[in-house]
Structure 1
Amino acid sequence: MINFLILTTLVLPGGLDFNKLKQCVNSSNVYQTWECQFSTFTNEAAFWIIDDSGNVKYSGSLNKVNGDNRDGLTPLDHNEDHLSFQSSAKAVAVDSKTNNPIAVGFSTIDVKSDYYAMQAAYFTSESHGSSYEWKSHIIPGLNIEPGDDRRDFTYTMANGVNSYSVIVGDAKGNGTKPQRAFIYQVGQGNAKFFDQLASSLFFKDSNSNAAAINNNGQVVGWVDVEASNGAEARHRAFTYINGAAQGPLKTGGAWMLDDLTNDNGAANSIANSYRIVDATGINNAGVISATAFYCDGGYDNLSKLSACSLPKKEVKTVVKLVPKNTDAVIQPRAKDDEQPFKRSGGSLGILALTALGFIGFRRRK
């Protein structure tokens, strides 16, 4: 079994002397000035291949893009020497068809001499004996245009990939435009936005983030659950089924994880003690890692945005969600304008929830 590890480095470019930076390109001593050191230590995606014994079999960078090695460790634009390429790798999988790794993240490109834009990218590789040759590909359908008024996005980023080369990520809106989660199948048209695929959950102008996808095509992340009205909106974790149906979770459907853990019971039930705000990972068994708020004693009612009134305390915690009852009927939580209520019986929830550890306190305002 081979594991792939990803690393990104970051250096901030404050106070650069561009004239000195240009001299570094052909310099044999990249350490002679601070500017030369910056030209070497820019953001760069890198990887290691490790065997079962923990030994590094191969390492390198993902800097070689479509045959251009960008001056090795000095990724300077050949036409504009004062600008440096940036890249990052956030997730990796082994493609089931080629048996080669595919990494996802972002790479910078020149937007018509206007500025360098961070754009969602995937990196593919082919092995050549003891080495790997990598190519970078910008995900289509997420174009960034020059000009502040016309630009839909300020940057785009890929966050997760599975073994079938299905990629998820998000595109940060320009100005007041929302951040939009997307999904993309390599080689099949353009990226698709979740607000188009599941508009009932991803309402107009809602912000969203797709963090991870497993080999069954199940996506997790977060989405706004209220309009921002000029302030930061509260959001909740979601899941989307891009692959085969899983019991009541049908293909092409999206659900709040709060609804899938809802036991439809009393206000002081265990399920009502948690509100899941962000899902960050999912494995092939459907086990989800997430962040939740915990209200000691239970939230005031069963709705998604219920208050945790004094003297109860609200705590931020890490949780694990495990598929439990795939034959259950989904019981959505009460709408936030409904009165608190109690019921007996009903579903025990499709997902079982376990708290892993508290990470801080937060009081709802």
Structure 2
Amino acid sequence: MSALHDLIARLPKAELHLHIEGSLEPELMMALAQRNGIELPFKTVEEIGAAYDFSNLQDFLDIYYLGMNVLQTEQDFFDLAWAYLERAHADNVRHVEIFFDPQGHTEREIPFATVIDGLTRALEQAETRWGMSSQLIMCFLRHLSEEAAFETLEQAMAHIERIDGVGLDSSEMGHPPSKFERVFARAGELGLKRVAHAGEEGPPQYVYEALDLLHIDRVDHGNRALEDEALVKRLVDSKMALTVCPLSNLRLCGVERLEDHPMKRMLELGLVATCNSDDPAYFGGYVNENYVRTAEAVGLTAAEIITLARNSFIGSFLPQAEIARHLADIDAVIASELA
């Protein structure tokens, strides 16, 4: 293992951009389909893996929503989350802020409670076993209507104490943040944190809308913000965190080669960039793999890798005392490296 690989492995990290449904590995998809008597258009795990080979966002979303069909029971959602959490723990992830897509389940007549009960049981077990903290962010599917988002927020009210924030995901183009201005305002009134996918495929204007109309606390992706110098300055000055997902950007052709990824430039510009796995089962790598491959591709220095790890906690929704504790743990790793 190279020195940089070893550093990445040893650094405590938070993961801030992870769709739990996007951690559904082919083996688990097949196992859950068999357990629930669901017929898939694939006969083997290898065929599922081959279907995970796509080249654009819509093709990815097609297989992503197909995979959701195997998630039927509370135990299924527990197993899904637990499989991810074990991998995160192995990558020295100390805190996770997980997205889930209730509309992808309730529209299949899976009760909201079934979803959140399974997920939170796994998160609680991770805290008990490893001390891993977590927060849960409920996403609205932007290709659906604002009315549907309001209905989902209403369904969430019975479980609101277990939900820390709302997000906005799915097909970005043609569904600007402004479409969801009112439902995000209501979420803010409820005291929920607000994040949104913006500037992944959509233009810088979508980032402006997310900031000015949705009043987000963090930008998910944000790559295309770099096309607008004034927007970059605003993000730097406000210390707005960006949850960047390099291997996702590569698989969805946001960049042609990982060597073209803007991560290093983001750090050089002073942006609070973080490194995350997005939908790791589909995009070929969990959080450490994103760190390692990006570092190799764009030439991140040890100092820049440490900055990414620090940013992951600074950009989190943890209390300041908890952030300080994690940053002290990073400092301890650095001190041991120098000893």
Q: TM-score, normalised by structure 1?
A: 0.28
Structure with the bigger RCO (C-alpha within 8 Å, sep 6+) is 2
User: Where is the strand percentage greater, Structure 1 or Structure 2?
Assistant: 1
State which structure, 1 or 2, has the greater radius of gyration over its C-alpha atoms.
Answer: 1
